[in-house]
Structure 1
Amino acid sequence: MKLSTEEADLFFKLMWALQFYVKQELGICPELSDVARYKDDCSLEDKSVIRQAVYDNSHLIDKFVAENPSGFTTEELAIVSQWKGFLQGDFYIERFLKKHTIFVSYQTEAVYGVQGLYEALDEMFYSAQLPALVKAVLLPFKGKIVYDGLLHGYNVSFGRGISGNIKDAYLKAKQNNRIIDSFDVPSATLLARPAKKQAIKDWQPEIRVLQAQAKQLKAGDAYPALYSPVFSLVKMSLDLAEQATADNVDKDALYKMLRKMGLTVNRAYKLLEREDD
């Protein structure tokens, strides 16, 4: 979940050159007269100011690309030009995956798959620290999403409620195939696309066999009272499975079935509580 060394080298070559150009255009730190001195000698505080100046004056990205003061190739300039599509804001780092790190937007709950640069993000944060709230700038880079090299962390922790909401935002995006791992895909297209569907087994025949068998489950007065709701739950579960695995799933019907099952579960609880030890 990080760039290759070659990709990270390229990213920083382009970023240092762009930041130096913006520094020169705005007259910041004039004593740093070339990119190498800027990279090595500029303080972190001054670099933070210049970094923000890039995003506050994004028209200078076009100017940099047009003038090409560093003699970059067409491909390299195309990468820099895409940085006008930066996304700046606060994000929760929700979890680390093999493919990328999950960022959840604080503002919109949109979910992003972000690559590290020289270091994977799980080398910078511990899993036990998550979710962590950071201020970041996300950038497109060669079909991936990266951060721009600087993360500002907030010294806050979150209880189960907020942590659960952040987790739900990720799980919803995962379930509906809406984790944004490239800015090359327009947002409207991403929101419209359906969840990925693979060829899966048709369970309907097996479920119908089980439904037929479950019809034999009957509980009369001769049986313990608990049998009745338990047998009903077996039959309801199979009906739910039949509806959930149908070609055209009726969500309203599923909700109705689940509510009915909930009432039956409550009935079973009551009967169990009344049982003598």
Structure 2
Amino acid sequence: LLVYVNDRFEVIEEIETVADFEQHYTDELLPLRNTLYNESTTDLIEDFVEENPPDLSEADLEQIEAWADFVAGEFVVVRYREDDAIFLDWTEPPQAYAARPARLPFVELWDESALPVPVSSVVLLPFENQIVYDGWIGVKNIIFG
């Protein structure tokens, strides 16, 4: 999907294929991810599913289509458990999401004593009947005094 976004918006000149994509570090790919969620995300996902440029299976396309129900924004991580973390969204109406990690377990991101942790630039996605975050997460600093 991100290669498709790059084809549409020419965000990173060197990326034309999945192999090109895989040669970049995660932080180098952040502009692509931001483009996906700053443009008309639902339209991009629908177009990708309809065109299916990588010739994905029907099951994979259904999974990608479900990503149109993403939630993006700022959250507060108030707790983590063995398999997920609790993300609170304070916008109206307030919501709580139990999200699974994309790569690293949450215990490797924060010490439990650091909780609650305000985070920004988070995208939560439905994936196989669960919620995952997309792998990018910004920690917000809070300064008192």
TM-score normalised by the chain length of structure 1: 0.48
Which residue identity does 2:73 align to in structure 1?
Answer: G
Aligned-residue sequence identity (percent) comes to 29
Tell me what 1:51 maps to: 33
Query: Which of these residues, 123, 126, 129, is aligned with residue 137 of structure 1?
Result: 123
1:209 corresponds in structure 2 to none
- RMSD of aligned C-alpha atoms? 1.7
Q: 1:118 aligns with which of 103, 112, 116?
A: 103
Give the helix-richer structure, 1 or 2: 1
Tell me: CA distance 1:126–1:85, structure 2 relative to 1, closer, same or farther (3 Å). same
The residue type equivalent to 1:41 in the other structure is H
Please, which of 57, 71, 83 is the counterpart of residue 67 of structure 2? 83
* SS at 2:68 equivalent: helix
TM-score scaled by length of structure 2: 0.88
Over alpha carbons, which structure has the higher Rg?
Answer: 1
Q: Is the 8 A contact 2:102 2:132 kept in 1?
A: yes
- Alpha-carbon spacing, 1:31–1:100, altered in 2? closer, same or farther (3 Å): closer
Matching of residues 177-188 of structure 1 within 5 Å: none
Q: Using the alignment, how far apart are the partners of 2:26 and 2:84 within structure 1?
A: 30
Matches within 5 A, 1:35-114: 35-41=18-24, 44-45=27-28, 47-55=29-37, 56-58=39-41, 59-108=43-92, 109-114=94-99
CA distance in 1, matches of 2:126, 2:26: 26
Unaligned runs of 5+ in 1: 1-17, 159-277
Q: CA deviation at 1:121?
A: 1.1
Structure with more strand by fraction: 2
Give the aligned length. 140
More relative contact order in 1 or in 2 (CA 8 Å, sep 6+)?
2
| Distance in 1 between residues matched to 2:88 and 2:47, nearest whole Å | 32
**What's 2:9 paired with?**
26
